[in-house]
Amino acid sequence: MMKLTFSGEIWYWKGPAPWHFVTVPDEQCGELAAAAALVTYGWGMVPVTAQIGDTEWTTSLFPKDGRYVVPVKARVRTSEGLEVGDVVTVRLAVNA
């Protein structure tokens, strides 16, 4: 199982299905791309278990502009007291 830890800023996408994300830094995106070939499903999605603070959840990384983004659910933002612009430490475990 591949595990990564990184920090990033929470940002908001206002598209047709608005959502909050944290972008995975370039350094870790290369590692993820290599692992993605083994676990990806449809549109390059990568199944992961994510954790911010004490809150853990299952989600999938989205490929975006040559990188990956982590969707941050409302319950995670609420339980950790997070808002757009906050810098968080994200722990990821790629689910095989």
Per residue in 14-28, pLDDT (tens digit) is: 878 789 999 999 988
Q: Are 12 and 34 in contact (CB under 8 A)?
A: no
* pLDDT tens digits along 31-56: 887 777 777 766 778 899 999 999 99
**CATH at 60:** 2.40.30.100
Which domain range does residue 63 map to?
Answer: 3-94
Three-class DSSP category at 24: coil
Q: Are 70 and 22 in contact (CB under 8 A)?
A: yes
Specify the pLDDT at position 42.
67
From 44, 50, 40, select the one nearest 8 (Cα to Cα): 50
* pLDDT tens digits along 73-87: 999 999 999 999 999
Q: Name the domain count of the chain.
A: 1
> Which is it for strands 46-52 and 19-23: parallel, antiparallel or unpaired?
unpaired
* pLDDT tens digits along 57-77: 999 998 889 899 999 999 999
